[in-house]
Amino acid sequence: MTVLCLIETEPGGASEASLRALGMAAGLAERSGEALAAAWFGPPGAVPPGDLAARGTRLGYALAPAGPGGYAPRAWARALVHLSARLPDGAGAGPVSAVMAAATDRGSEVLAHAGAITGLPVAANCVAVTRAGPGELRLTRQRWAGSLLEDAVLRASPALLTVAADAVPPADAVPPADAVPPADAVPPADAVPPADAVPPADAVRPAGAVRGAGPSRGPGAQPEAAPAPGTAESVRVQVVEQAVEAADLAVRASESEQRRDGVSLATARVVVGGGRGVGGPEGFAVLEELASLLGGAVGVSRVVTSQGWRPHNQQVGQTGTKITPDVYLACGISGAIQHMAGCQGAKTIIAVNTDPGAPIVAKADYAVIGDLHEVLPALVAALRERAGGP
Amino acid sequence: MEVCVCVKRVPMVGGAIALTPDGQAVDTSMSGFTVSPHEECAVEEAVRITERHGGTVTVLTLGPPEAEQQLRDMLALGAGRAVLLATDGTERGPVATAAAITAAVRDRGFDLLLFGNEAADTGGYQVPVRVAHALGLPCVTGIKRLEVTPGAGAAGRLVAGREYRGSLESFELPLPAVVSVKEGINLPRYPSLPGRLRARRASVEVLDPGPAPAEGLRTERLRVPRAPASRARVLGSGAGAVPALVRVLDDLGVLR
Ligand SMILES: Cc1cc2nc3c(=O)[nH]c(=O)nc-3n(C[C@H](O)[C@H](O)[C@H](O)COP(=O)(O)OP(=O)(O)OC[C@H]3O[C@@H](n4cnc5c(N)ncnc54)[C@H](O)[C@@H]3O)c2cc1C
């Protein structure tokens, strides 16, 4: 049996979200003694073999759907479904038991199409998964963008899953009745175990550790000594042409101009957050000033965007952007679960709030109790003074 | 343009989420209900489309009889018709939900079916796509920009855009089509007083969605992720806390 993971590529190789999904796929394959394969749309070199090898992947499929290029959700899904129905020259990998993808816009969309094409269920935003039996997975997935977890059993062959973008599983996210190592523990690429290490099928090892995947070479493989698993040379990439239906290509993406404006909210090291407590559009001047002093970005709550005080692309939360800064300074924000869903990836949260009983005060690492209109100007002044400015 | 918008009644959860003692559902005894923000934006988008091109907006929901309130909320925003697929309140999974919606919209001649990108509570990310496949319609999800050109036959089409790694990717679809949108595509209006009055008087068509087919994904239980044990360290109050705050920022290495 084989776990198949869809990889989204970007100019440098696999996207980070896809590598995280591959890490979880590797954990599943590892614990159930299955092989692991990766598939992507594009040329065989689009994903560096080292990235695959580091996660115990020895099979890569570079898919080239017939027809014009570009992202086409249904065509991608169709090709993935065809591939999972029969791995070409699967190097002894066996039938596909699970198809996984990162829960990005594209990953979620492609797996939804795959579910619709096959009539099979899809489990979205998984944070942990393990095999419960043949054709049966036990998993934990996010609801409410991660404010709530659902333990569920998925009965389907193949199982279709997406992996939550922030699926660094919380300590308690592993499905019960099964103590397993975190699925994202990926060792460095150069951790190469002995080439002949074939663990028993039920051996529990860190997800990224390299498996001896049964008979490792297919009928067409070269007779010379097998390259050490875990090394780039151990990965075999095949180009697969998949026929898709004309209707599958009817919806296709065309990409337009690149636009970049300042520090991006999603990747900023510091985010200065403002909520209803800011009081109105004018109140954001001091937050902007603070953000620029700290080299960060301004983020806001939904109240702020629905009042039209700031544009929606600054919204942090379940229906906005998920942020992962070193420091999130949340000012005049109460800390509703839908807001926290977007900022729980922050390393440190500092709240500025007039109400010591606000939920954010319980959820933050540090708090200043007070009026932000007093605290923030004083903070700006202190930072300026420190920098030797006026 | 005949536009149908599918919405879902979800609990309005605030600072903390509580579960029923059996861990099977969110405890809604203390909460109000709302539709997901994505879907509210979908309704706003549909209203704008019909304001521009004529036609009617129909809002549809699968849910308990009480979901009639959410339909009326959407009528107040400018939708003209409402359809309730009334269940006994038992949660239906995405496969069952899509099947019920498909059956209800199939012969109604809609030019456009709008959805939210994902339901706020269950977050399955698949109902619109399943409905599109069942109806044989083209589909795109996660949309934040929509331009509709009505027209008969091949003339009717739409261009839909969304963010992709900092740039915009766009899709062109013939009508009829299925599109799911995200919050941010527009800023929904507040219901007007006449709108609210009309919504109160409007009739809601109630249909029986029939029994739910079995679902391959079976929920065992829900749980609230373990919260960090400690409360925040209070650095002080008012501007007097600023020196301590600067020290913390410095220790965290974010001062340049
Ligand atoms: C399905 C769904 C999805 C949602 N998605 C999001 C989302 O993506 N992002 C999001 O943010 N919300 C989201 N929400 C809304 C969320 O539930 C809250 O309503 C919202 O986050 C509250 O915003 P707030 O904290 O700014 O306002 P409030 O809850 O009103 O809090 C204001 C806070 O400011 C404090 N305050 C007031 N004045 C001052 C002052 N002068 N100085 C300091 N503090 C002050 C108050 O003590 C209070 O704690 C969603 C809701 C739903 C139902």
Residue B174: give its domain's CATH number: 3.40.50.620
- Chain B, 33-62: which have a CB under 8 Å from a chain A CB? 36-38
Task: Report yes or no: B15 at the A interface, CB cutoff 8 Å.
Answer: yes
Residue A334 CA, ligand 1 centroid: distance in Å: 5
Asked whether the beta carbons of residue B222 and residue A149 sit closer than 8 angstroms, the reply is yes
Alpha carbons A370 and B235: distance in angstroms, whole number: 11
Q: Do B125 and A252 lie within an 8 Å CB cutoff?
A: no
Q: Is B184 in the pocket of ligand 1 (CB under 6 A)?
A: no
Question: What are the structure tokens assigned to A384, written together?
Answer: 């300026």
Question: Is B37 part of a structural domain of the chain?
Answer: yes
Q: What is residue A260's predicted lDDT score, i.e. its pLDDT?
A: 59
The two three-digit tokens of residue B240, written as one number: 């007097």
Query: What does the alpha-carbon distance between residue B204 and residue B72 come to, in Å, rounded to a whole number?
Result: 8
Report the residue from B16, B124, B187 with minimal CB separation from A337: B16
Residue B135 domain-assigned? yes
CA angle in degrees (0–180, nearest 5) for A28-A33-A37: 65
Summarised one tens digit per residue, pLDDT across range B37-72 is 999 999 999 999 999 999 999 999 999 999 999 999
So what's the pLDDT on residue A187? Answer: 37
H helix intervals, chain A: 16-32, 49-53, 73-85, 105-118, 284-293, 302-306, 337-343, 359-363, 372-386
Find out whether B61 and B73 touch, Cβ atoms under 8 Å: no
How many CB pairs below 8 Å do chains A and B form together? Answer: 275
Residue at token pair 């405890």: B27
Q: Is residue B133 part of a domain?
A: yes
Q: Is A207 on the interface with B (CB under 8 A)?
A: no
Collapse the DSSP code of B66 into the 3-class scheme (helix H, G, I; strand E, B; otherwise coil) and give the result: helix
Answer yes or no: is the C-beta of B174 below 6 A from any ligand 1 atom.
no
Task: Calculate how far, in angstroms, residue A314's C-alpha sits from the geometric centre of ligand 1.
Answer: 14
3-state SS assignment for residue B205: strand
| Residue B176, preceding peptide bond in cis (omega within 30° of 0) | yes
Residue B72 lies in a domain: yes
In a domain, B231, yes or no: no
Is a pLDDT exceeding 90 seen at residue B207? yes
Q: Which one-letter amino acid corresponds to residue B77?
A: L
Q: Do B232 and A361 touch (CB under 8 A)?
A: yes
The full set of domain ranges for chain A reads 2-249, 265-386
Task: Say which amino acid occupies A224.
Answer: E
CATH of the domain spanning A265-386, picked from 3.40.390.10, 3.30.200.20, 3.40.50.1220, 1.10.3720.10: 3.40.50.1220
Question: Is the pLDDT at A4 greater than 90, yes or no?
Answer: yes
Mutate to test the pocket of ligand 1, among B8, B9, B10 (most ligand atoms within 8 A of CB): B10
Check CB contact under 8 Å for B217 and A375: no
Evaluate: CB of A373 within 6 angstroms of ligand 1: yes
Task: Decide the pairing of beta strands B2-7 and B56-63.
Answer: parallel
Of A264, A315, A370, the CB nearest to B237: A370
List the domain range (segments joined by +) for residue B31.
2-207
Spacing of C-alpha A6 from chain mean position: 12
Q: How far is B61 from chain A (nearest CA, A)?
A: 19
| Residue whose C-alpha is closest to residue A336's, from A313, A319, A348 | A319
Whether B134 contacts chain A with CB within 8 A: yes
**Above 60 in pLDDT, residue A380?**
yes
The tokens of A358 are what? 């606000």
**Chain A residue nearest residue B180, CA to CA:** A109
> What CATH fold (topology level) applies to the domain A2-249?
Rossmann fold (3.40.50)
Contacts of A54 (CB under 8 A, 6+ apart): A186, A187, A188, A189, A208, A230
pLDDT band, very low/low/confident/very high, at A310 (cuts 50, 70, 90):
very high
**Cα–Cα separations (whole angstroms), residue A154 to A84, A111, A119, A161, A375:** 17, 15, 14, 9, 50
Q: Whose alpha carbon is nearest atom 8 of ligand 1?
A: A317
Neighbours of A340 (CB within 10 A): 26
Whether residue B189 lies inside any domain: the answer is: yes
Report whether residue B12 contacts ligand 1, using a CB cutoff of 6 Å: yes
Residue A11 CA to residue A158 CA, distance in Å, equals 30
pLDDT digits (tens, 9 = 90+) for A172-214: 434 433 333 333 333 333 333 333 333 333 332 233 333 333 3
Distance A2 CA to ligand 1 centre (A): 45
Query: What's the rounded Cα separation, in Å, for the pair A318 and A341?
Result: 6
Give me the phi and psi of A318, to 5 degrees please. -55, -45
What's chain B's average pLDDT?
A: 95
Query: How far is it, in rounded angstroms, from Cα A360 to Cα B172?
Result: 43
Position A247 scores a pLDDT of: 86
B173, B188, B216 ranked by CB distance to A156: nearest: B216
Flag whether residue A276 sits within 8 Å of chain B, measured between CB atoms.
no
Smallest CA–CA distance from A115 into chain B, residue: B130
- Distance, in Å, from the CA atom of A2 to the CA atom of A127, rounded to the nearest integer, reads 20
Question: Are the Cβ atoms of A142 and B17 closer than 8 angstroms?
Answer: no
AA identity, residue A66: A
Report the complex ipTM.
Answer: 0.96
B173, part of any domain: yes
Compute the average pLDDT of residues B144-163.
91
User: How close B190 gets to chain A, by Cα (Å)?
Assistant: 10
Q: How far apart are CA A13 and CA A131, in angstroms?
A: 29
The pLDDT assigned to B170 comes to 95
Mean pLDDT of chain A: 84
Selecting from A154, A170, A364 the residue whose C-beta is nearest the C-beta of B216 gives: A154
